[in-house]
Structure 1
Amino acid sequence: MGTENRKHKDSLFVDLFYEDESAKKNLLSLYNALHDTEYQDEGIIRKVRVGDVLYKNFKNDISFEADGRVLVLGEHQSTVNPNMPLRCLMYVGRAYEQLVEKKARYRTTQVKIPTPEFYTFYNGTEDFPLEKELRLSDAFLDAPGGNSAELKVKVININSNKAHIILKKCGILREYSLFVDKVREHSIEEDSIKQAINECIRQGILSDYLKRKGSEVTNMLIAEYSYEEDIQVKQQEAMQKGQEEGRKEGRGEGLVLSAQIFRALQSNPDFTDAQIAVMVGCDLDDVESTRKAFGL
């Protein structure tokens, strides 16, 4: 792991493809798989570190530059959030701040920038298609005009049972998917995770990585699954609060309103309450009360 002080915790995906000593090799393999290239020089990979934009407390996203492109990658083990294109728009803006010198932005000649690409790898347990495209324009209040911005996020299901072609092209991603399968066969407790790690080492799944970082992987997985569980519990609590409010007010809308606001607040930590209210379609007071109720 990097030595800098971080406010967030890194997921196993981030460690494997961004922080570990093998990360550049893994990123190159993933890049080749996405673009049908055969690059061998890890030197073409330039990591781009961006602050908390896609996720507030738990970092599940990475970005890097290679071959004239800047890629923003994220992993989802819970429901894929429809606001990913909006968050990716904010993310890539910060990435370009690092990639383009300040003076260059004010030149009279056009500044060339790496072509942006956005991918989300779905690794959850819900039924999800092999691929899905999310578009920024789907969030527009009005139909997009000819000069409107567009941003597309390609969601790829990397569950091993879906057998997406990318798992054949990228060995390290396939092994990661198989490792997640193995962990899910056990309970999310320290001894069970250690058992899953030992089984994977014996079967040659991420064996070198797990031999080096088994204890760190255990801690990352416990933190990751605890975070996911905490989010699910809070969503359930929000639903219950909404149901209670709905009964008190005699209308069904309250059943889901609190849950919708909670999800919007979690997914868009940089948004103001007013922006959340517009996104959800509720009153500002509803957002403020939900934020207060859950300590957000």
Structure 2
Amino acid sequence: MKLLDDYILQTSTQSLILKENTASYASNREFKDGMFRLLFSEKRAALELLNSLEGTERKDEEKIEIDTLREAAYVFRVYEKIVSDRELYKEARCPLPIPRLYVLFNGTKDKPLETVQHLFGGIKPGLEGDGPMMEAAVKVINVNLHKGHPILKRSPTLKQYAQFIERVRSHIKLDGMNRDEAILASVESCVKEGILEDFLRKHGSEVINMLTGITLEELYEIRGEEAEERGAARVAKEKEAVVKNAEQKERKLIKKLLKKNWTVEAVQELTETPMDKILEIQAAIHS
């Protein structure tokens, strides 16, 4: 299982190492990973997520530190930040906070609601067949919306994130949109429906630009241009219909006058229609 950036939520007593495991293809994985990291880089959202994972009710956002690291080295780097050099040289045992490691899975593969993954489980046995002397267990939580994990009830922000991702997938699978179109449509509809509204209003340009290369402002400008184009096309169509209707009425009047034996000169004087058009209608009557 490919593990991406690490999200370390650190308090005075605990360091929670959090990862998001995403879908299989790279561009979407990078998009979701970037959005997830941006969403939970805000301390309020990070504290909410920490409380939902741990079943706690911590209130002090300022005690949380957020770091992003890569690979197994994160465990040692976190402790490196916590333990001073002086502590390392003391004979007394240095108390360390309990590490808790989580992976939040929202990929498309069917996975259980919760599993435990052993970080060093993939290490090859040594010459004597012995395994690693160090181990770390990571709790993998399936946060896909349809799985209904209780954590989604405890963390409204995480639930809305899951709703957003589910909406993107639905647009692709059911509406036949490509990935870019699905994300643009999801951002617009979620803002209207209050799903991650504040986050998307604040960071919508960044979220969209992560994948499409355009900003939210440019998107709205494009949408405005499309609306203007549709409006102009509608006006042109209506104008064309009015002109066509007027021509039909004019032709009908000329035909009626000619049948009453009006001269073409008299018809032209009354209707101000070009003579060649009157003669054309006259020829059609006698044909």
Same fold (TM over 0.5): yes
Q: 1 CA distance for matches of 2:156 and 2:131?
A: 40
Instruction: Give yes or no for the alignment of 1:13 onto 2:36.
Output: yes
Could you report, residue by residue, the CA deviation over 1:101-155 in whole angstroms, capped at 9, with x for unpaired residues? 222211222222221111111111111111111124633514559xx32210111
Q: 2 CA distance for matches of 1:172 and 1:137?
A: 31
Deviation at 1:220, TM superposition (A): 2.2
Q: 2 CA distance for matches of 1:197 and 1:29?
A: 23
8 A Cα contact 1:11 1:221, kept in partner: no
Q: What is residue 43 of structure 1 aligned with on the other side?
A: 62
Instruction: Give yes or no for the alignment of 1:32 onto 2:22.
Output: no
Deviation at 1:172, TM superposition (A): 0.6
Q: What is residue 191 of structure 2 aligned with on the other side?
A: 201
Q: 2 CA distance for matches of 1:156 and 1:202?
A: 29
Deviation at 1:192, TM superposition (A): 3.8
The equivalent position to 1:150 in structure 2, one of 122, 129, 135, is 135
Instruction: Give yes or no for the alignment of 1:185 onto 2:204.
Output: no
8 A Cα contact 2:180 2:211, kept in partner: no
Q: 2 CA distance for matches of 1:136 and 1:193?
A: 33
Could you report, residue by residue, the CA deviation over 1:49-81 in whole angstroms, capped at 9, with x for unpaired residues? 43xx23xxxxxxxxxxxxxxxxxxxxxxxxxxx
Q: 1:100 to 1:49 in 2, by over 3 A?
A: farther
Q: 2 CA distance for matches of 1:190 and 1:136?
A: 34
Q: What is residue 75 of structure 1 aligned with on the other side?
A: none
What letter corresponds to residue 154 of structure 1 in structure 2? K
What letter corresponds to residue 202 of structure 2 in structure 1? R
Q: What is residue 131 of structure 1 aligned with on the other side?
A: 114
Instruction: Give yes or no for the alignment of 1:168 onto 2:145.
Output: no
SS in 1 for 2:109: coil
Q: Aligned ranges for residues 179-258 of structure 1 at < 5 Å?
A: 179-186=164-171, 187-222=177-212
SS in 2 for 1:133: strand
Deviation at 1:31, TM superposition (A): 1.0
8 A Cα contact 2:169 2:182, kept in partner: no
TM-score between both structures, scaled by the size of structure 2: 0.55
What letter corresponds to residue 95 of structure 2 in structure 1? K
Q: Aligned ranges for residues 24-103 of structure 1 at < 5 Å?
A: 24-50=43-69, 53-54=70-71, 87=72, 90-103=73-86
Could you report, residue by residue, the CA deviation over 1:168-201 in whole angstroms, capped at 9, with x for unpaired residues? 1111100110011112233455444222101001
Q: 2 CA distance for matches of 1:98 and 1:105?
A: 12
Q: 2 CA distance for matches of 1:120 and 1:132?
A: 10
Flag structure 1 segments of 5+ consecutive residues without an equivalent: 1-7, 55-86, 224-296
Deviation at 1:213, TM superposition (A): 1.2
What letter corresponds to residue 100 of structure 1 in structure 2? V
Bigger Cα Rg: 2
Q: 2 CA distance for matches of 1:170 and 1:157?
A: 14
Q: 2 CA distance for matches of 1:11 and 1:37?
A: 27
8 A Cα contact 1:121 1:158, kept in partner: yes
The equivalent position to 1:105 in structure 2, one of 85, 88, 100, is 88
Deviation at 1:221, TM superposition (A): 4.2
Could you report, residue by residue, the CA deviation over 1:17-76 in whole angstroms, capped at 9, with x for unpaired residues? 12xxxx1111111111111111122122122343xx23xxxxxxxxxxxxxxxxxxxxxx
Q: How many residues are matched? A: 174
Q: 1 CA distance for matches of 2:99 and 2:62?
A: 19
Flag structure 2 segments of 5+ consecutive residues without an equivalent: 1-29, 172-176, 214-287
Q: 1 CA distance for matches of 2:68 and 2:36?
A: 15
What letter corresponds to residue 211 of structure 1 in structure 2? R
| Identity percentage of aligned residues | 37
- Give the RMSD, CA atoms, in angstroms: 2.3
